[in-house]
């Protein structure tokens, strides 16, 4: 199964669970992102690969005029049900259904790693106004926390740890070097909430029923060794990159 197939299959299932179980973003991270990107009342923002609208709602609460684009029909259906007043369009990072220079800011939460960087960054630059800003963020596990590290091992996490996306952005002629900032966060969850969150991971959703059930049972057994609520440590990884007025020659 390719990475693209994993994303398509994984996120086509259980979007209501995704909406319930995935974390939002801290005020600290949002303050940083909005200050750095100039997001405030009246700012036009494209929330790209918006999912069920976790980030979209926070942007709208700060007065931004948000348009969402999401490739998954299942995600769009859930988005339309839980996010009021924000249009959600079918589209991908490599083919955005907006005109040239349409927005001040493009945000991408939990999704840039699914994109083909070169064509996606070129397309993002197309819809940004001159001097517009690309803002990326992820909630990731804190690998320095032993409990979290062991939990993800039991959950058969197939990906690496924190990935530095600055080199991919630097290779694009359309963006200035990205500024990366990390924020640490702790969250108290019940056993059920932890198991449900693991079930939202794309590779878990894409598993067969038997394999998924067996793996989630192992997760429940492991986390059951800890008294509720269980405190999980996370890192919010953020990037801000300004669009160049003209592409860099190279």
Q: What tens digit of pLDDT does each residue of 12-68 get?
A: 556 777 788 788 899 999 999 999 999 999 999 999 999 999 999 999 999 999 999
Angle at 17 between CA 15 and CA 136, to 5 degrees: 65
Q: How far apart are CA 47 and CA 83, in angstroms?
A: 13
Q: How far apart are CA 223 and CA 9, in angstroms?
A: 27
Q: Are 93 and 134 in contact (CB under 8 A)?
A: no
| Structure confidence at residue 231 (pLDDT) | 95
Residue bearing the bigger pLDDT, 2 or 101: 101
Q: How far apart are CA 165 and CA 249, in angstroms?
A: 21
Rounded mean pLDDT of the chain? 92
Query: Whole-model pTM?
Result: 0.90
């Amino acid at each position: 199964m390719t990475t693209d197939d994993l994303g398509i299959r994984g996120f086509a299932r259980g979007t209501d669970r995704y909406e319930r179980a995935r974390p939002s973003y801290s005020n600290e991270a949002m303050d940083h992102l909005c200050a750095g990107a100039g997001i405030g009342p009246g700012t036009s923002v494209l929330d790209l690969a918006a999912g069920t609208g976790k980030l979209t709602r926070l942007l709208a609460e700060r007065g931004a005029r948000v348009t969402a684009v999401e490739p998954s029909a299942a995600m769009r259906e859930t988005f339309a049900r839980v996010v009021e007043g924000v249009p959600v369009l079918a589209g991908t990072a490599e083919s955005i259904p907006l005109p040239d220079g349409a927005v001040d800011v493009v945000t991408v939460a939990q999704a840039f790693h699914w994109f083909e960087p070169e064509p996606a960054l070129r397309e993002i630059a197309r819809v940004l106004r001159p001097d517009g800003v690309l803002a990326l963020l992820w909630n990731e596990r804190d690998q320095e926390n032993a409990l979290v590290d062991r939990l993800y091992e039991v959950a058969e996490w197939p990906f690496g740890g924190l990935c530095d996306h600055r080199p991919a952005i630097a290779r694009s002629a359309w963006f200035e070097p990205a500024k990366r900032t990390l924020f640490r966060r702790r969250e108290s969850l019940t056993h059920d909430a932890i198991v449900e969150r693991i079930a939202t991971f794309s590779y878990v959703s894409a598993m067969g029923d038997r394999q998924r059930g067996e793996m989630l049972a192992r997760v429940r057994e492991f986390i059951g060794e800890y008294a509720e609520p269980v405190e999980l440590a996370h890192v919010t990884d953020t990037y801000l990159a300004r669009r160049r007025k003209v592409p860099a020659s190279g």
